[in-house]
Amino acid sequence: MTTEQLDAVIVGAGFAGIGAAIQLKRLGIDDFVILDREDDLGGTWYVNHYPGLAVDVPTTTYSYFFEPNPNWSRLFTPGPEIKQYADDVADKYDVRKHMRFSTTVEGARWDEDANVWRIALAGGETMTARYLITATGFLSQPKVPDIPGIAGFEGKVIHTTEWEDDFDATGRRIAVIGTGATAVQLIPELAKRAADLTVYQRTPIWVVPKVDLRFGERTKRMFARIPLTQRVLRWLTDSIYEVMVSVGVRHYRTFRGRFNISAADLSKLHRFAVIRDPELRRRLTPDYDFGCKRPTFSNGYYRAFTKPNVHLQDAGIDHLDADGIIGKDGTKNAIDTLVLATGFDLWEANFPAIEVIGRDGRDLGKWWRDTRFQAYQGVSMPYFPNYLSLASPYAFLGLNFFNTMEYQMRLMDRLLSEVKRRGATTFEVTEEANAAFLDRMTELLGDSIFTAGNCGSANSYYFNPAGEPTLLRPSSTETAIREASEFPLADYQIA
């Protein structure tokens, strides 16, 4: 078998991979492929198509800075429109031709003699690339719970990432496990049709009302003809979200959690307005601070529990048998469908999503676990030359993925332009720069809700298995973009 030789390999054809591809092209690098295990592009927005799926940050904010979309139908747009946006951007910037679908990357190893990455694909094929960019997303490895008896359950089992579009909930007895953002969107939809719907809640979630708007044809025409109008709206929604994350998450201690208390009060009011039964309200009330895990927006979630066909089960699951769930309280609930809204394995399966072996045989996953989860500017690790890991610890700015992409694209621009200018072959972040960045992130997190708040019972994926909140980058979008555009080039060894 021959080995294909490329300038760059991007793993993942979601918004991160598409953004990285656009940036490579802008830098004059055209000899690259984007590999994806799915059979289409869009990443999470291709994989997820369960009923009720919609973006949970305003779409005015949810797009590449350089590619506003005047066609969104709502402020909180349904999932299929986001997938369409991914298609449109990939076509407009002509990156689809670089994509290879149904291609699973098993691992990548740095070849120190040849200064290339050797990439192994599932079918036994290999490729070499000068640059490796993993754009594998944060929530891409579905978590299937290891509940005793689940394999012997004879009804239908559906994980929300594998939704069957022709599945009809009408007349079914359904159990949903999980009460995260996905479940909050899905449950009101299932509740409309199911004969019986039991929600298995382990940890209650904060839910606040969703203030949604429809964008009529006139508004869309205005956005298209006068792009400044959409820019202004984006500036507004960006600013509101930025302030919320700053005050409620990053500077929780400084603001003494006041924002979080107000948001929790709003959620309480929402429960009070919708649910008459005080005991049910109590059971749906989280006992950790608002913001410890991603809060959700819904006008239908609490209301669903007031329907006669919907029940909350919070006694825990003991096991499954062939036709039902046995709760820890000994009760049996006969079901024909089990919906797993159990989310994603972020830390174990995703960091990294493929095996990556750098210089001197350093195994990225092992190194992160043996030391601490860390990545300079959310993309680079020492001993991993010519590698950018876009789904890294300290990469995600919180709430809006596109802001993260914006700074990562700027970092690519600065770094790869310099490599080109010097006619160099490799770049690698220095150990000193990486250590200083990690220290700075750790210190900044001291003011955050994760350190100063009451998050112990939240079961939040913002925390790694060692209990450190190493997912979110504790800086504003503006700061991250500035740093990505101005970081000292001496932080990298460019040779």
Structure tokens at 38: 């799915």
Q: Is 84 in the site for ligand NAP (CB under 6 A)?
A: no
3-class secondary structure, 121: strand
Question: Which candidate, 373, 490, 363, 358, places its Cα nearest to that of 433?
Answer: 490
Give me the residue label for tokens 């940036």.
23
Site string for ligand NAP, 342-381 (x = CB under 6 A): xxx-------------------------------------
Amino acid found at 455: C
DSSP-assigned letters across all residues of 392-433? -TT-B-SS-HHHHHHHHHHHHHHHHHHHHHTT-S-EEE-HHH
Site string for ligand NAP, 451-470 (x = CB under 6 A): --------x-x---------
Q: Is 182 in the site for ligand NAP (CB under 6 A)?
A: yes
Q: Is 327 in the site for ligand NAP (CB under 6 A)?
A: no
For residue 81, the minimal CB distance to ligand NAP (Å) is: 12
Q: Is 180 in the site for ligand NAP (CB under 6 A)?
A: yes
Considering only 134, 179, 350, 426, the residue that binds ligand NAP (CB under 6 A) is 179
Site string for ligand NAP, 135-164 (x = CB under 6 A): ----x---x-x-x-----------------
For residue 344, the minimal CB distance to ligand NAP (Å) is: 6
Question: Using CB atoms, what's the residue nearest to ligand NAP?
Answer: 180
Q: Is 477 in the site for ligand NAP (CB under 6 A)?
A: no
Preceding peptide of 469 cis, ω within 30°: no
CA distance 411 to 433: 15
Region near ligand NAP per CB under 6 A, out of 33-41, 116-124, 196-204, 409-417: 196-204
For residue 472, the minimal CB distance to ligand NAP (Å) is: 11
Residue pair 35/9 in contact by the 8 Å Cβ criterion: yes
3-class secondary structure, 45: helix
Region near ligand NAP per CB under 6 A, out of 35-43, 299-307, 341-349, 433-441: 341-349
Radius of gyration of the chain from its Cα atoms, rounded to whole angstroms: 23
For residue 364, the minimal CB distance to ligand NAP (Å) is: 23
Nearer to ligand NAP, 227 or 465 (CB): 465
Burial class (CB within 10 angstroms; exposed 0-12, middle 13-18, buried 19+) of 26:
middle
Structure tokens at 385: 């030359």
Residue pair 145/342 in contact by the 8 Å Cβ criterion: yes
Residue pair 26/413 in contact by the 8 Å Cβ criterion: yes
Q: Is 181 in the site for ligand NAP (CB under 6 A)?
A: yes
For residue 245, the minimal CB distance to ligand NAP (Å) is: 13
For residue 356, the minimal CB distance to ligand NAP (Å) is: 24
Considering only 4, 38, 40, 56, the residue that binds ligand NAP (CB under 6 A) is 56
CA 339 to chain centre: 21
- Residues 228-267 touching ligand NAP, rule: CB under 6 A, are none
For residue 435, the minimal CB distance to ligand NAP (Å) is: 30
Residue 154 falls in which region: left (phi positive, over 0), alpha (psi -120 to 50) or beta: alpha
Nearer to ligand NAP, 70 or 145 (CB): 145
Q: Is 294 in the site for ligand NAP (CB under 6 A)?
A: yes
For residue 160, the minimal CB distance to ligand NAP (Å) is: 6
Considering only 92, 100, 202, 422, the residue that binds ligand NAP (CB under 6 A) is 202
Q: Long-range contacts made by residues 88-92, C-beta under 8 angstroms, separation at least 24?
A: 89/18, 89/22, 89/64, 90/13, 90/18, 90/41, 92/67
The distance in angstroms from the start CA to the end CA of the chain is 32
Region near ligand NAP per CB under 6 A, out of 110-118, 182-190, 237-245, 417-425: 182-190
Structure tokens at 212: 């949604």
Preceding peptide of 352 cis, ω within 30°: yes
Judged by the rule CB under 6 A, the positions of this chain that interact with ligand NAP are 53-56, 139, 143, 145, 147, 177-183, 185, 200, 202-203, 294, 341-344, 459, 461
